[in-house]
Amino acid sequence: MTSATKVPADPRPRIVAEGGAQLLAGGRCRRCGHALVRVFPRCPRCRGEIEPASFGPEGEIWSFTVIHIPPGPGADAPYALAYVDLDDGPRVLVRTDPEAPLQVGARARLGALSDAGDPTAEVIR
C-alpha cells in the first residue's frame, strides 16, 4: 500500500449490546456524579475523576432535525439527527430515521449501530 490515506480514530459514542439492549459506554464523575458520553481524563464540570459507566437504553428526545444536504462529499441526504437525554445519563447525539416523526420530549430507545457505525435511536411506540 502506497496510499497516504489513513483511517482516523473514531470519535463517535460507543454503543455496546448488553442483555439484549443497546447501551452507551460512557463515564460518570466520581466526585459530582455527572454523566458523560465517554471517559474523559477529568469531569468537564468539576474536574473530578471519571469511571466507566453505561447508560440507556431509554431516554427522552431533547431536540431533532432532518438535514436535507449531504454533510460532505459522497455522503447521503436526507438524514436525521436527534439529541437524546438518556435516563440518568448523558445527552447523546444519534441518527434517527428521517421518515419517522419525532417530537421534543418523546421517549426514545437506543438501537443497533447503523451500517455506517453511527449510534441510532427510535421513538418508543
Partner 1 sequence: MSACIWGVGSSQFGRQPELLPAELAWQAVTEALADAGVEEVDAAFVGTVFGAPGVAQRALGGLGITDVPIVTVENACASGTTAYHEGLEAIAAGRYERVLALGIETMTTLFDGPITPEPSDPEQALGLVMPALYALSATRYMDLHDADPSDLAQVAVKNSANGALNPRAQRQRGLSEEEILASRPIADPLTLFQCAGLSDAAAAVVLGPEQRGAGDIPVRASVLRSGSPWDQASEHVWGYDIIRDAAAELYEQVGIGPEDIDVLEVHDAFTIGELVTVEALGLAPEGGAVARLRAGDFAIDGDQAVNPSGGLLARGHPLGATGLAQLAEVTWQLRREAGERQVDGARTALVETMGGGASGLDGNGCVITVLGA
Least distance between partner 1 and beta carbon 23 (Å): 16
Residue 39's CB: how many other CB atoms inside 10 A?
Answer: 15
C-alpha pair distances (Å), 34 with each of 50, 64, 70, 89, 105: 9, 23, 34, 8, 21
The residue from 23, 26, 79, 110 that contacts partner 1 (CB under 8 A) is: 79
Between residues 17 and 33, which has the closer beta carbon with respect to partner 1?
A: 33
Interface with partner 1, residue 26, by CB under 8 A: no
Nearer to partner 1, 68 or 125 (CB): 68
Residue 30 contacts partner 1 per CB under 8 A: no
Nearer to partner 1, 51 or 63 (CB): 63
Instruction: Give the span between the Cα atoms of 116 and 37, in whole angstroms.
Output: 19
CA angle 12, 36, 21 (to 5 degrees): 70
Residues pairing with 110 in the sheet: 121
Task: For the CB of residue 35, give the shortest distance to partner 1 in the complex, in Å.
Answer: 7
C-alpha 111/C-alpha 3 separation (Å) is 35
Cell numbers 447525539: residue? 93
In the window 41-70, what residues touch partner 1 (CB under 8 A)?
A: 44-45, 62-70
Q: Which residues bind partner 1 (CB under 8 A)?
A: 8-13, 34-38, 44-45, 62-72, 75, 79, 81, 83, 85-86, 89-91, 93-95, 104-105, 118-119
